[in-house]
Amino acid sequence: MNIDWSQLITKAMKEAAAAAARLSEAQALLKSRNEAAAGQVARIHDRIDTLGYGIDLGEATSEDEAEQQTLLANLKQWKAYKFSLGKVSTQAAWPVAPEWPVQPDVPVIVVDPIFPTT
């Protein structure tokens, strides 16, 4: 009987591989959530700026101004969420059981729908 010791996989090696897989999965999820949050911040910010142009020009309606105020509050929530995501990997339970922050509501922006209606 010949034993090929190069093929030996120990319990420690299996555990290390599982830990590396958990870390990789958690990092991918964190990256995905960060990218989505950054996209929402940019999307909301763009609409706030656009409404601000109308307000600055004196052409905005009261509905435009109300929309801007609502979006400003939502933007603050998204920024807080993005900031909280930046702390997830510093948690003691990372990457095994991180406590994810709660994602804010995605605002409806009629002129910039997330899913085109075509």
Concatenate the DSSP letters of all residues of 85-108 into one string. HHHHTTSTTTTTS--PPPPPPPPP
Q: What are phi and psi of 114, to 5 degrees?
A: -70, -40
- pLDDT average, residue stretch 3-21: 86
- pLDDT average, residue stretch 40-54: 96
- Our count of domains for the chain comes to 1
* pTM of this structure: 0.84
The predicted structure's pLDDT at residue 98:
96
**What residues make up the domain containing 44?**
15-87
| Domain annotation covers residue 57 | yes
The predicted structure's pLDDT at residue 118:
46
**pLDDT tens digits for 65-105?**
999 999 999 999 999 999 999 999 999 999 999 999 999 99
The predicted structure's pLDDT at residue 100:
97
Q: What are phi and psi of 93, to 5 degrees?
A: -85, 0
| Domain annotation covers residue 108 | no
| Domain annotation covers residue 96 | no
